[in-house]
């Protein structure tokens, strides 16, 4: 049996449908679906992603039977259009468009008007009765094809066009006549001949296969590879190729081309939103060559634009388009991003897909659609990308900030950013990688800029609309962006921009407000986000379906308050050493470290104790009875001593400690491998008085709260870095002894738990032994990852990238849990822990506790809670809800 590489669509039906995205790519599958719905789609066919994969598998050779199937596809188009590919009298022209499973905006290049040559252009001129149009189309084709397929730079062509316009004294393309375009076409062809040493291909078949090959090859270009890495898209997916009969938006004043979202992709507002251009073709709208006009009258008025909207300029076809858009949204049950062309008053749909949107819009659309009954609440929860919520958890400009507005553009991607301006993507990439806050300023962006855009905190473009490349990419990444700031005059040579005579040089700080489109001078005051409205509504729905509890890693009162505001249901990790570093305490801590004997240590600890107790009282008060897991002292003691000799001398001076002794002790404490040294519970075993002081402080604080009549906490006292059952027993006895004594002294009933972090492979494997004396486990996956791989997370930066680039690691295991290795240890520990102590409380407190994929794993293993940094709590709540839904 031969493989099927080609699926046709158009003419009122299709061989594929929307469910076939893997095979037909997103664009092809949706073109087929729209055809089947009876919408006006120019006929065409899709070459499958499998053909692309076969092409690469066979060393860049097309499958043997592909040519015949493509010929069949062309015949299908010819039959419907009543035109013939390559026929000089009645030529069929096609577009060749890439389309992977996931949309990769701007990553792959499209060729329009393919099939034109010196003979067919005459046919097109005769048939259309518009010679100007025919040659305009031909020059577009030569430029696109030469660029995409033959690898020639755009500039050569742009220069020719600009020279012509200069000579004729015109500045818009529309002022050029048929004769002008004909002359330009001739020069374009000469340029190709000169640059490549061979003429522009005249044979439509050669053109077709050249374009198909270029689409396949673009799957492996640098931009596509980078984008795939950014978005975790596997190389093995391949891209499809769509070959589709051309329709023409450049056939006069009743022709147009446009893009639209069925709802506002920035705010989520339920109103048709988009841009169009009269008498234009394809990419003119997104390329920012001419400034596009609004679709609706309301949007035009809001923008204060004088140019008519589509609703006003082409009312009949606009009404038809609005109905189609509404129908698509209902059909797909999601906000659609559509591309269309009007050819002499007739509407053609060229693409639909689920629209990319800001997190804010995603929330509003999901909540609204659930309200409209289009989707269920659970679907609304499932639809929001937890990671995208991050955008909403970021600062915006304070309403009372003084705004010194330099320029105003379009509010292309919301949120605010402060940074130093740079004018090239390379600079943005370099300085951004060095950790600097950068604002990238460009005339307009193109796919070549994506690395720099990604490294920037914010983006400003002088040209381009709301659907320009910069706007779409920035919104997708949650990077604030102001596009089309036309007042800004960029001087690339001198690396500055000026607005009304005032010059801003490279490196100067500006603030951008992507929600208003303003560019502001200097660094402007920001405020933290507030989580109300749609956000709050969605969180309530998420909380209704999630099983995992969500706690926060917090030690300061501010962290704890933030955590609660974001909905944390407890503290999963309070690191007590942070409390030791406080300037009022560090002296006593150092005294304790320097003490020669236990009595000396106890004396110093007695000075720290009241501080510790006060910390816990405050924390328990804020947490109002919610669980709080407190980890006893963990880092090696030398971390509390000054590091350089100068600092040592200064500390000795200010504290009155003996400098020689301080120096000696620092040397004694030096370890060649402190990560595996005298730290964690090993400190508590060597110096039980330290842990005793901490346990006492915790229990006294809890008793104080209990006595005051406020909700009493159930402290969870956690011992770090335990590896052996006998260690745990020692620590449990120590803890109980101290706690019981305090409770007896205080004369109140108080519950508390004693448990451990699981951070060592041995602890995971012997979890059964540990569970005999541990009432809870908290997986400390930062250290557990480190100790499992034997990779120091502080040093991994130097080589982890090599691992990722060479495909040895799929992801950084410190960011997303290594489910097969570290995950297996967690599974084993959970199983053995539960076997030894049914109902043992299990949680995770590493960075992974805020990573959606890792949270899904925690759900699968049946942990009781995840704990993450306060700002990630909403992300974790949503991810936990989605994990629960996925299990249903």
Q: Is 780 in the site for Mg ion (CB under 5 A)?
A: yes
Picked from ligand ADP, Mg ion, none, the partner binding residue 218 (CB below 5 to 8 A depending on kind) is: none
Nearer to ligand ADP, 20 or 112 (CB): 112
* Terminal Cα distance for the chain, rounded: 40
Sign of CA dihedral 23, 27, 32, 37: positive
Site stretch for Mg ion (CB under 5 A), options 285-293, 308-316, 644-652, 782-790:
782-790
Q: CB–CB of 533/540 below 8 Å?
A: no
Q: Is 288 in the site for ligand ADP (CB under 6 A)?
A: no
Which residues 239-268 are close enough to bind ligand ADP by CB under 6 A? 244-247, 257
Catalytic option among 574, 703, 845, 858: 845
Q: Is 283 in the site for ligand ADP (CB under 6 A)?
A: yes
Number of residues near Mg ion (by CB under 5 A): 5
Nearer to ligand ADP, 41 or 539 (CB): 41
Q: Is 429 in the site for Mg ion (CB under 5 A)?
A: no
Say if strands 458-461 and 481-483 run parallel, antiparallel, or are unpaired: parallel
The least CB distance from residue 95 to ligand ADP, in Å, is 3
- Give the chain's radius of gyration (CA, Å): 33
The least CB distance from residue 258 to ligand ADP, in Å, is 8
Q: Which of 64, 61, 45 is nearest to 240 (CA)?
A: 45
The least CB distance from residue 340 to ligand ADP, in Å, is 8
The least CB distance from residue 157 to ligand ADP, in Å, is 18
Q: Per-residue string for binding with ligand ADP, 371-410, x by CB under 6 A?
A: ----------------------------------------
Taking residue 67's Cβ as centre, other Cβ atoms within 10 Å add up to: 13
- In the chain, what is the greatest distance between 2 CA atoms, to the nearest angstrom? 105
Catalytic option among 76, 394, 454, 469: 469
DSSP character for 14?
Answer: B
Which residues 737-776 are close enough to bind Mg ion by CB under 5 A? 759
* Encoded tokens for 193: 């001949």
SS (H, E, C) 151-191: CCCHHHHHHHHHHHHHHHCCCCHHHCCHHHHHHHHHHHHHH
Which residues 313-342 are close enough to bind Mg ion by CB under 5 A? 339
Q: Per-residue string for binding with ligand ADP, 155-174, x by CB under 6 A?
A: --------------------
**Scanning the structure block, which residue is given the tokens 């328990």?**
620
Q: Is 39 in the site for ligand ADP (CB under 6 A)?
A: no
Contacting ligand ADP (CB under 6 A), which of 46, 110, 207, 468? 110
Residue partners of 567: CB distance under 8 A and separation at least 6:
539, 543, 550, 873, 874, 877
Q: How far apart are CA 453 and CA 413, in angstroms?
A: 13
2 CB-side CA count, 13 A: 11
Nearer to ligand ADP, 112 or 460 (CB): 112
Contacting ligand ADP (CB under 6 A), which of 239, 255, 351, 694? 351
Q: What are phi and psi of 59, to 5 degrees?
A: 70, 50
The least CB distance from residue 219 to ligand ADP, in Å, is 13
Picked from ligand ADP, Mg ion, none, the partner binding residue 244 (CB below 5 to 8 A depending on kind) is: ligand ADP
Instruction: From residue 172, give the alpha-carbon distance in Å to each of 165, 168, 179, 258.
Output: 8, 11, 16, 19
* Encoded tokens for 477: 């990444």
Q: How far apart are CA 347 and CA 646, in angstroms?
A: 77
Nearer to Mg ion, 56 or 332 (CB): 332
Q: What are phi and psi of 114, to 5 degrees?
A: -70, 140
Nearer to ligand ADP, 350 or 609 (CB): 350
Contacting Mg ion (CB under 5 A), which of 351, 391, 515, 788? 351
Contacting ligand ADP (CB under 6 A), which of 43, 282, 419, 627? 282
Picked from ligand ADP, Mg ion, none, the partner binding residue 282 (CB below 5 to 8 A depending on kind) is: ligand ADP
Nearer to ligand ADP, 94 or 722 (CB): 94
Residue partners of 799: CB distance under 8 A and separation at least 6:
none
Q: Is 339 in the site for ligand ADP (CB under 6 A)?
A: yes
> Across the strands, what pairs with 573?
553
Q: Is 147 in the site for ligand ADP (CB under 6 A)?
A: no
Residue 164 bears catalytic tag: no
**Scanning the structure block, which residue is given the tokens 């109300």?**
532
Nearer to ligand ADP, 353 or 877 (CB): 353
Picked from ligand ADP, Mg ion, none, the partner binding residue 780 (CB below 5 to 8 A depending on kind) is: Mg ion
Picked from Mg ion, ligand ADP, none, the partner binding residue 239 (CB below 5 to 8 A depending on kind) is: none
Q: Which residue is nearest to Mg ion (CB)?
A: 783
Q: Is 783 in the site for Mg ion (CB under 5 A)?
A: yes
Nearer to Mg ion, 258 or 780 (CB): 780
Q: Is 112 in the site for ligand ADP (CB under 6 A)?
A: yes
Q: How far apart are CA 268 and CA 263, in angstroms?
A: 6
Residues composing the chain: 888
Angle, helices 852-861 vs 873-887, to 10°: value is 50
Q: How far apart are CA 104 and CA 228, in angstroms?
A: 8
The least CB distance from residue 247 to ligand ADP, in Å, is 4
Instruction: Give the DSSP per-residue string, 617-639.
Output: HHHHHHHTT--EEEEPP-S-GGG
Picked from ligand ADP, Mg ion, none, the partner binding residue 368 (CB below 5 to 8 A depending on kind) is: none
Nearer to ligand ADP, 317 or 548 (CB): 317
Picked from ligand ADP, Mg ion, none, the partner binding residue 350 (CB below 5 to 8 A depending on kind) is: ligand ADP
Nearer to Mg ion, 260 or 705 (CB): 260
Say if strands 273-278 and 293-294 run parallel, antiparallel, or are unpaired: antiparallel
Picked from Mg ion, ligand ADP, none, the partner binding residue 755 (CB below 5 to 8 A depending on kind) is: none
Picked from Mg ion, ligand ADP, none, the partner binding residue 783 (CB below 5 to 8 A depending on kind) is: Mg ion
Q: Per-residue string for binding with ligand ADP, 77-106, x by CB under 6 A?
A: ------------------x-x--------x
Q: Which of 732, 792, 728 is nearest to 762 (CA)?
A: 728
Nearer to ligand ADP, 95 or 694 (CB): 95
Residue 845 bears catalytic tag: yes
Q: Where are the beta strands (DSSP E) in 77-234?
A: 84-85, 91-92, 94-100, 111-114
SS3 863: coil
Q: How far apart are CA 393 and CA 415, in angstroms?
A: 10
Q: How far apart are CA 674 and CA 682, in angstroms?
A: 12
Contacting ligand ADP (CB under 6 A), which of 16, 26, 28, 42? 42
DSSP H or E stretch at residue 92? strand 91-92
> Across the strands, what pairs with 347?
342
Active site residues: 469, 845
Residues that bind Mg ion (CB under 5 A): 339, 351, 759, 780, 783
Residues that bind ligand ADP (CB under 6 A): 42, 95, 97, 106, 110, 112, 244-247, 257, 282-283, 339, 341, 350-351
């Amino acid at each position: 049996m031969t493989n099927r590489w080609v699926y046709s669509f158009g003419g009122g039906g299709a061989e594929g449908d929307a469910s076939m995205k893997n095979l037909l790519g997103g664009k092809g599958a949706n073109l087929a679906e729209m055809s089947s719905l009876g919408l006006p789609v120019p006929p065409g066919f899709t070459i499958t992603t499998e053909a692309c994969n076969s092409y690469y598998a066979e060393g860049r050779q097309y499958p043997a039977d592909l040519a015949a199937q493509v010929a069949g596809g062309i015949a299908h188009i010819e039959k419907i259009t009543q035109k013939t590919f390559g026929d000089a009298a009645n030529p069929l022209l096609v577009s060749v468009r890439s389309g992977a499973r996931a949309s990769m905006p701007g990553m792959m290049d499209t060729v329009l008007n393919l099939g034109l040559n010196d003979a067919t252009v005459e046919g097109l001129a005769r048939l259309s009765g518009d010679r100007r149009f025919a040659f305009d189309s031909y020059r577009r084709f030569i430029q696109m094809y030469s660029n995409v397929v033959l690898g020639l730079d755009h500039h050569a062509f742009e220069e020719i066009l600009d020279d012509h316009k200069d000579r004729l004294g015109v500045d818009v393309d529309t002022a050029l006549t048929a004769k002008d375009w004909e002359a330009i076409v001739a020069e374009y062809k000469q340029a190709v001949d000169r640059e490549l040493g061979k003429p522009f291909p005249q044979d439509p078949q050669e053109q077709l296969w050249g374009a198909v090959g270029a689409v396949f090859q673009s799957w492996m270009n640098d931009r596509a590879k980078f984008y795939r890495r950014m978005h975790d898209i596997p190389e093995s997916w391949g891209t499809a190729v769509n070959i589709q009969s051309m329709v023409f938006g450049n056939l006069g004043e009743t022709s147009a081309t446009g893009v639209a979202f069925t709802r506002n992709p920035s705010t989520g507002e339920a109103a048709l939103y988009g841009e169009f251009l009269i008498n234009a073709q394809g990419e003119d709208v997104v390329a920012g060559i001419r400034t596009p006009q609004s679709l609706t009258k309301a949007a035009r008025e809001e923008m204060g634009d004088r140019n008519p909207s589509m609703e006003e300029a082409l009312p009949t076809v606009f009404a038809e388009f609005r109905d189609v858009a509404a129908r698509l949204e209902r059909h797909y049950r999601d906000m659609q991003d559509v591309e269309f062309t009007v050819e002499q008053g007739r509407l053609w749909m060229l693409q639909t897909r689920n629209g990319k949107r800001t997190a804010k819009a995603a929330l509003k659309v999901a909540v609204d659609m659930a309200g409209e009954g289009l989707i269920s609440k659970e679907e609304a929860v499932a639809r929001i990308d937890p990671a995208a919520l991050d955008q909403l958890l970021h600062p915006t400009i304070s309403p009372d900030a003084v705004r010194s507005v330099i320029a105003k553009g379009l509010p292309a991607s919301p949120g605010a950013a402060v940074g130093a301006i740079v004018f090239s993507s390379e600079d943005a990439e370099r300085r951004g990688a060095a950790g600097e806050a950068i604002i990238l300023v460009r005339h307009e962006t193109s796919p070549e800029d994506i690395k720099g855009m990604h490294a920037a905190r914010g983006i400003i473009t002088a040209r381009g609309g709301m659907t320009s490349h910069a706007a779409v990419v920035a919104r997708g990444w949650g990077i604030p962006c102001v596009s089309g700031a036309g007042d800004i005059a960029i001087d690339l040579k001198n690396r500055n921009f000026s607005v009304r005579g005032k010059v801003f040089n490279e490196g100067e700080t500006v603030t951008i407000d992507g929600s208003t489109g303003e560019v502001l001078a200097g660094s402007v005051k920001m405020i933290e986000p507030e989580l109300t409205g749609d956000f709050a509504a969605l969180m309530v729905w998420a909380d209704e379906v999630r099983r995992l509890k969500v706690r926060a890693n917090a030690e300061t009162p501010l962290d704890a308050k933030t955590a609660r505001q974001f909905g944390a249901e407890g503290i999963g990790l309070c690191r007590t050493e942070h409390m030791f570093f406080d300037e009022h305490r560090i002296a006593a801590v150092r005294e304790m470290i320097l003490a020669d004997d236990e009595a000396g240590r106890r004396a110093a600890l007695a000075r720290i104790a009241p501080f510790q107790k006060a910390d816990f009282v405050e924390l328990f008060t804020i947490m109002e009875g919610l669980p709080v897991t407190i980890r006893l002292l963990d880092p090696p003691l030398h971390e509390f001593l000054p590091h350089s000799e100068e600092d040592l001398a200064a500390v000795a001076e200010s504290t009155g400690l003996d400098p020689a002794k301080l120096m000696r002790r620092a040397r004694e404490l030096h370890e060649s491998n402190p990560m595996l040294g005298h730290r964690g519970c090993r400190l508590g075993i060597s110096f039980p008085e330290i842990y005793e002081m901490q346990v006492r402080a915790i229990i006294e604080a809890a008793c104080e709260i209990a006595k005051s009549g406020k909700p009493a906490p159930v402290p969870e006292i956690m011992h770090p870095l335990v590896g052996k059952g006998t260690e745990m027993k020692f620590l449990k006895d120590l803890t109980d002894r101290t706690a019981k004594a305090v409770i007896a002294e205080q004369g109140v009933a108080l519950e508390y738990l004693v448990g451990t972090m699981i951070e060592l492979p041995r602890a995971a494997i012997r979890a059964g032994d540990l569970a005999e004396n541990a009432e809870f486990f908290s997986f400390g996956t930062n250290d557990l990852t480190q100790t499992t791989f034997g990779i120091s997370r502080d040093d991994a930066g130097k080589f982890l990238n090599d691992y990722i680039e060479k495909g040895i690691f799929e992801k950084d295991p410190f960011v997303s849990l290594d489910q097969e290795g570290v995950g297996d240890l967690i599974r084993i520990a959970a199983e053995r822990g539960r076997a030894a102590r049914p109902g043992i409380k299990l949680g995770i407190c590493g960075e992974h506790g805020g990573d959606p994929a890792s949270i899904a794993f925690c759900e699968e293993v049946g942990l009781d809670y995840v704990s993450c940094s306060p700002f990630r709590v909403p992300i974790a709540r949503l991810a936990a809800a989605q994990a629960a839904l996925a299990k249903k």
